[in-house]
Amino acid sequence: MGLFRRRRFLFRFFDGVRKRAIDPLQVYLRLAGDMELAALAERSEQGDREAIEALAERLARIFDVQLYDERTGRGLTLLEVFDLFYRFTDWVELQKKRPHIWPGWLHIAVPNGSEQQDTTKRQSLRSAYTQTVSP
Q: Does 103 score more than 80 pLDDT? A: no
Instruction: Report the alpha-carbon distance of residue 120 to residue 94 in Å, rounded.
Output: 17
pLDDT by residue (tens digit) across 22-46? 999 899 889 888 888 888 988 988 8
10, part of any domain:
no
Instruction: Report the alpha-carbon distance of residue 128 to residue 8 in Å, rounded.
Output: 31
Residues in the chain: 135
pLDDT at 110: 37
3, part of any domain:
no
H helix runs in 6-114, sequence order: 24-33, 37-45, 49-63, 78-96, 106-109
5, part of any domain:
no
Work out whether the CA dihedral 111, 114, 115, 118 comes out positive or negative: negative
8, part of any domain:
no
What is the rounded average pLDDT of the residues 85-109?
74
Instruction: Report the alpha-carbon distance of residue 95 to residue 26 in Å, rounded.
Output: 15
What is the rounded average pLDDT of the residues 89-104?
77
Domain that holds residue 99: 21-133
